Amino acid sequence: MNIDLKEVCKAARKLVIETGNFLNKERQHFQSDKIEVKGKSDYVTYLDKASEERLVKGLSTLLPEAGFIAEEGTSDKKGEVYNWIIDPIDGTTNFIHGLTPHAISVALMHDKTLVMGIVHEISHGETFYAWEGSKAYRNGEEVSVTDKAKHQEALVATGLPFTNFSQRDNFMNTLSFFMENTQGIRRMGSAAIDLAYVACGRFEAFWEYGLHPWDIAAGAFLIQQAGGQLCDFNGDDDYLFSGNVVAANSNYFKTFSEVVKERMGN
């Protein structure tokens, strides 16, 4: 079955923005006593679940044959061809504390290929999106990665380990290198936003380990459509399900990824 990805993206974007508006409104009287602990520094709120339920319901209407890979597991439906990959609130800890950024991340996968990505930063109302064959956009304007090629020109993003410390020493070694050789390092607290910011040129590069497909999928697709590149820590393409992702603009990608591979690859 052929679908009009541009129109599906338009409808999905509307749903995501409406869900973001719902979360913004609910955040004003957020009930902190209803926070659940999934693991050390790993939280889920009743609003994560409410957001995901809204997204699953709306996306099911939009594309009935599609299944879901969703963080909170509100649907276990698996699609034969299409599957939505959803993070209902990426940056939940930020959200709990009233910090930005926090985002909704929605991607669409056709077989094993990503064909759509939407990252909506809830507080600032910025929506990044792309579909197969399109450029990448932010609120209707085309965006692209930067052309910087050297460490000393790069602003780099990462996520600090908070539950998985298996690569802590290697991570700190990598962090030290980029601290000493780039313009600086930023830790936003949302991998989806980090990737979207690489896509729109706010960061030159990003790396992190221990992520999940819903953290990565939409932002990774945005980077591809914006002219950037991605790999895992071994320089291969298994970043989506390995959880180890390296992303950068195309000019800086080889230089950046080699540093990460040397220090964090197998």
Residue 228: CA atoms inside 13 Å, Cβ hemisphere, count? 35
Query: CB-based contacts of 155: which residues, under 8 Å, 6+ apart?
Result: 182, 183, 184, 185, 186, 202, 203, 204
101 φ/ψ angles, rounded to the nearest 5 degrees: -90, 160
Strand pairing class (82-90; 67-70): parallel
pTM of the model: 0.94
Check: CB of residue 119 under 8 Å from CB of residue 110. Answer: no
Cα 39 to Cα 49: distance, rounded to the nearest angstrom: 17
Identify which of 192, 7, 162 has the alpha carbon closest to the alpha carbon of residue 86. Answer: 192
Question: Which of these CATH numbers, 3.40.50.2300, 1.10.357.10, 3.30.540.10, 1.10.10.10, describes 5-143?
Answer: 3.30.540.10
Q: Give the pLDDT score at 11.
A: 98
Residue ranges of domains in the chain: 5-143, 151-264
Residues 6+ apart with CB under 8 A from 259: 174, 177, 178
Domains 5-143 and 151-264 share a fold: no
Among 59, 63, 65, 68, CA closest to 81: 65
- CATH fold group of domain 151-264: D-Maltodextrin-Binding Protein; domain 2 (3.40.190)
Count of Cβ atoms closer than 10 Å to residue 129 Cβ: 26
Please give the chain's pLDDT, 266 residues, in tens.
Answer: 679 999 999 999 999 999 999 999 988 877 666 666 655 545 567 888 999 999 999 999 999 999 999 988 888 899 999 999 999 999 988 998 889 999 999 999 999 999 999 999 999 999 999 999 999 999 999 999 999 999 999 999 999 987 888 899 999 999 999 999 999 999 999 999 999 999 999 999 999 999 999 999 999 999 999 999 999 999 999 999 999 999 999 999 999 999 999 999 98
Q: How far apart are CA 212 and CA 187, in angstroms?
A: 17
